[in-house]
Amino acid sequence: MVIREASKEDASLWCHLRLGLWPGDGRDAHGEAIARMLADREKGAGRTAFLAFVEGAACAFIELSLRQDYVNGCDTSPVAFIEGISVAEDFRRRGLAKALIEAACDWARSRGCTEIASDAALSNHTSHRMHLASGFEETERVVYFRRWV
């Protein structure tokens, strides 16, 4: 297993992994999001991604940002926030998510963070189990509401 920060050369592999997590967004939208993230990182903005490779195959990714605003359940600022994490189904239960989260924690510490946070839909029990197995603790549950005006 190799974990490394994603680069411009990884854009196609990264895009494919993003499509697995967020299939509702098209390849073009993912490509644009990746280009923005890479450009932001070049400017020193607090965003990055790491990819995991097994036997040369890109099979997992994690995307991170530094959030300066309040992050639910956290006490400090900035907070490293996992914007997305996914392991291709054939590669699950091999420790890839934990390894990506450790890389994320190293990245967060290097930016002065003492907390890393994440979220998951209430119905995403697989994600809940992964977070708990990776050392996260649940801090709160939220239900969002809207009303047309």
Counting residues of the chain whose pLDDT is more than 90, the rounded percentage is 89
Tokens of 56: 């040369």
pLDDT above 90 for 144: no
**Would you list the domain boundaries of the chain?**
2-133
Q: How far apart are CA 37 and CA 81, in angstroms?
A: 14
What are the residues whose beta carbons fall under 8 Å from the beta carbon of 87, sequence distance 6 or more?
A: 52, 59, 60, 94, 96, 97
- Tell the CATH topology of 2-133: Aminopeptidase (3.40.630)
Where residue 109 falls among pLDDT bands split at 50, 70, 90?
very high
Where residue 133 falls among pLDDT bands split at 50, 70, 90?
very high
pTM of the predicted protein model: 0.92
